[in-house]
A and B are shown apart, each in its own frame.
Chain A
Amino acid sequence: MKMIELSNIDLTLCILLLSALALLQRNLAPGISRQLLISMLRMLLQLSIIGLILTWLFSHIQLSLVLGVALLMILAAGREANARQTYSWVTRWNIWISTLALFIATTSMLFLMLLAFIQATPWYHPQYFIPLLGMLLGNSLNGVSLAREYITVTAHEAQDRIEGQLMQGATWLQATAFLRRQAQHHAMIPAINGMAAAGIVSLPGMMTGQILAGTDPSQAIRYQIAILILITVATGLGSFITTYFTTRQLFDKRQRLRLDRLKTSH
């Protein structure tokens, strides 16, 4: 089976379709149609660039280049995990909590996949390294971002409860047990849905892509099972690290709840 290629005309039609939707929604929700167009332009630009980078990487297979691109992707994911949050931190360095959590969670799963399962030569072959990292990052980013949003919003709503427990002599960990448990729950919902709906509601993207490209479905499914499991583990690990350290940052050395460390983003 040979893949049937998409032409520029096909893509132009797609873009026109989305522009029409934006135009339709202009009166209904002006903010949304603006965001639609901006995110479409971002997608066009970002995907074109990553297309060029991947083509270039495939012809210059070097560990340092692959790691360089990977690092940029992780930094961008860390930035995205903190964008569009209801509250932002007064201390700017706080963004590194989610970046570091994403780094630890995704690279550990990526190396497991590359070194133990795929074993390509060389092991860092960008054909596997970059798309797998991208999938792990894109999905655990959701979890990390949801966990942070939940913690900062709920800490405001439950301030009395948290302080009430502190007054009873609870430590910050005891006083936030409910908060951290629910944040972890929220973070895991997309990954759990992804697994539960796979095959019935949706054919996951990776498998669809491989099948479109002519891969035997039974092999495509093996890849999809492995990546869905690793995505879920990475999301769990990343949001666990994020939840712990983000909550810790809401308290000072005297274990006081410091909501003054947050400010509304808008």
Chain B
Amino acid sequence: MNNSVPLLQVKHLSVHSLQHINFSLFAQECMCIQGASGSGKSLLLKALADLIPAQGEVLLHSQKQSDTEPSQWRRNVTLVPAMPSWWYPTAKEHFSCNIDHWLTQLALSPSITQQPIHTLSTGEKQRLALCRALQHNPYVLLLDEPTANLDPTSQSLLEQFLFNYFLAQPDRSIIWVAHHPSPWLIRRAKRFTLHGGYLSEDD
């Protein structure tokens, strides 16, 4: 793949309070978006995943969002929400493939998938939701506060997993929404801030 062509292009995206968002994301890049509560971070992620209507264009591999089957688009550009929801009694039923190797890397016991969902902690559910999003092998991962409920050790394990495993594959990138990104993430990500409906790149 030619590295000079962006993986994801966003042109004049406007939705509710967000105005003309423009950016390009290249393969192997991680974009970290900060912003105050209510600045529209989650709204932006939902629009990129094509879950809410928005003006403007989003392109993956130069193909328009509007020209792609909705279900295909969402498998390629997958959102992991801050509060993931579950629709079967145990996590195992949400997976179509074996995820034990991912769970081990995230310091989770594989038996966790057989426990009733409501007995799991928020941090465990967030990491399971990440694995659920990974099973369709998306090109772009949209992460909404994925480490919000994790202890420092689990947090750095998750960060390393995403960079060393997910981003190490060709043609993959991450948009990472975080209130307090860790210093480790800050060093490796392109940092942006959402403020007053506009997205700007930090220096």
Contacts and interface: CB of A to CB of B under 8 A. Distances in A.
Interface of A: 160-161, 163-171, 178, 252, 254-258
Contacts of B83: 160
B71 interface: yes
Nearest to B84: A164
A254 B87 contact: no
Contacts of A164: 81, 84-87
Contacts of A168: 74-75, 94, 132-133, 136
A97 to B, nearest CB: 22
B24 interface: no
Nearest to A163: B51
A161 B87 contact: yes
A163 B84 CA distance: 10
A131 to B, nearest CB: 45
Nearest to A256: B51
Interface residues of B, number: 23
B52 interface: yes
B50 interface: yes
A95 B79 CA distance: 35
A143 to B, nearest CB: 26
Contacts of A257: 51
The 8 closest A-B pairs by CB, nearest first: A169-B75, A160-B85, A255-B70, A164-B85, A169-B71, A161-B85, A254-B70, A161-B87
Contact of A167 (B49, B52, B53, B86): B49
B136 A169 contact: yes
B74 A169 contact: yes
18 contacts: A160-B81, A160-B85, A165-B87, A166-B71, A167-B51, A167-B78, A167-B133, A168-B74, A168-B132, A168-B136, A169-B71, A169-B72, A169-B74, A169-B136, A171-B70, A254-B70, A255-B70, A256-B52
